[in-house]
């Protein structure tokens, strides 16, 4: 069988046009101890993003759909823009367990790549069933489906749509993902199934991140040659040196054509957490929609500066900061919970 790359498919950049965004309504009080507050933050995201792209929203049952409808209507959401889909999902992190869509621009075809999901290195047995959700999605989408046969979460990679992919050693080369694969073998899978040919390997992610260093908390493309890199100016913070190392690596990196990248510092929030520990709060976990960039804020002093940096990187989109202090108890925010479906 030919690979997606051989058939002319590739993973587009997130700022390219979307037909829809896929989401799953929060429900688990283990992930979200302040569930109602997390639901409110989630509903705020839907209200912002539904204006310019369709929302495909997973719910467990009729009662959850009714609750979601009430909360969305209270925010003025046009329900014609929301498709409710019943599915037996465990958690909301669709970026990681959902499919990664690929496109063939010449033939105007959309396809799905379905990677293995092992709950971030078999950390959460109860969440392993989310590995089946892409199959459920494709029962209605009826897309051509490609299976690379390795473990990969969508939040662990970032592409510029031109052939370059960003990731971390801490995650993709972790022995709890694909111990049978070498770095070169993983790169070949990514090339064959996502149409990328140039790789930038950062080292590790932020403290409190149970995903083993997902890229979408530390470095994001804003366009094909610009990267927003999370930085922690406080030298006493445990993230300081880690993020400086990533910044230095990006400054030396090039794109697929050998051109140096423009690297912009994006501040980290002040420490977010409680007595039980630090939460992986990062402004880099923004979602790039068709007309808006929705960025998480946490009620810390760095919120305005971070939004200013993100807005400067996306002059053709409105940047909206939404509170995500209660979503991040689930160890992710807006980018982690979403997966865009490209338009073709």
Q: Contact, 47 vs 76, CB < 8 A?
A: yes
Look up 336 and say whether it is catalytic: yes
Q: Measure the CA–CA gap between 91 and 97, rounded to whole angstroms.
A: 9
Residue 42, number of CB atoms within 10 A of its CB: 27
Instruction: Write down the residue that tokens 């293995």 correspond to.
Output: 116
Strand partners, 83: 56
Q: Measure the CA–CA gap between 331 and 298, rounded to whole angstroms.
A: 13
Rg (C-alpha) for the chain, rounded Å, is 19
Catalytic residue among 171, 229, 231, 336: 336
Q: Measure the CA–CA gap between 254 and 256, rounded to whole angstroms.
A: 7
**Residue 170 phi, psi (nearest 5):** -55, -35
- For the record, the structure tokens of 244 come out as 């400086």
Residue 161, helix vs strand vs coil? coil
Strand partners, 323: 297
Strands 318-323 vs 339-342: parallel, antiparallel or unpaired: unpaired
Give the residue numbers marked as catalytic: 336
């Amino acid at each position: 069988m030919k690979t997606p790359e051989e058939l002319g498919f590739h993973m587009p950049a997130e700022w390219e046009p979307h037909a829809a965004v896929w989401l799953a309504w929060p429900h688990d009080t283990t992930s979200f101890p302040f569930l109602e507050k997390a639901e409110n933050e989630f509903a705020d995201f839907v209200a912002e993003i539904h204006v310019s792209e369709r929302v495909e929203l997973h719910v467990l049952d009729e009662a959850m759909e009714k609750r979601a409808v009430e909360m969305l209507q209270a925010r003025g959401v046009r329900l014609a823009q929301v498709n409710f889909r019943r599915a037996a999902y465990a958690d909301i992190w669709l970026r990681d367990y959902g499919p990664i869509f690929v496109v063939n621009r010449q033939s105007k075809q959309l396809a799905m790549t379905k990677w293995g999901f092992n709950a971030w290195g078999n950390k959460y047995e109860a969440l392993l069933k989310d590995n089946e959700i892409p199959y459920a999605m494709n029962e209605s989408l009826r897309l051509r489906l490609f299976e690379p046969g390795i473990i990969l979460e969508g939040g662990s990679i970032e592409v510029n749509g031109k052939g370059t992919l960003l990731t971390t050693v801490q995650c993709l080369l972790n022995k709890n993902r694909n111990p049978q694969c070498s770095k070169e073998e993983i790169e070949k899978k990514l090339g064959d199934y996502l149409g990328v040919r140039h790789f930038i390997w950062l080292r590790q992610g932020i403290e409190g991140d149970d995903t083993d260093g997902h890229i979408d908390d530390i470095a994001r493309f804003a366009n094909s040659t610009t990267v927003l890199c999370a930085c922690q100016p406080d030298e006493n913070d445990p993230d300081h040196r880690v993020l400086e190392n990533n910044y230095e690596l990006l400054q030396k990196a090039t794109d697929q054509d050998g051109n140096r990248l423009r690297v912009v510092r994006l501040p980290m929030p002040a420490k977010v957490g409680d007595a039980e520990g630090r939460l992986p709060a990062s402004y880099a976990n923004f979602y790039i929609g068709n007309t808006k960039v929705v960025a998480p804020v946490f009620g810390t002093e760095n919120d305005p500066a971070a939004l200013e940096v993100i807005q400067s990187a996306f002059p053709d989109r409105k940047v909206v900061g939404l509170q995500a202090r209660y979503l991040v108890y689930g160890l992710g925010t807006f980018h982690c919970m979403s997966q865009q479906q490209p338009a073709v």
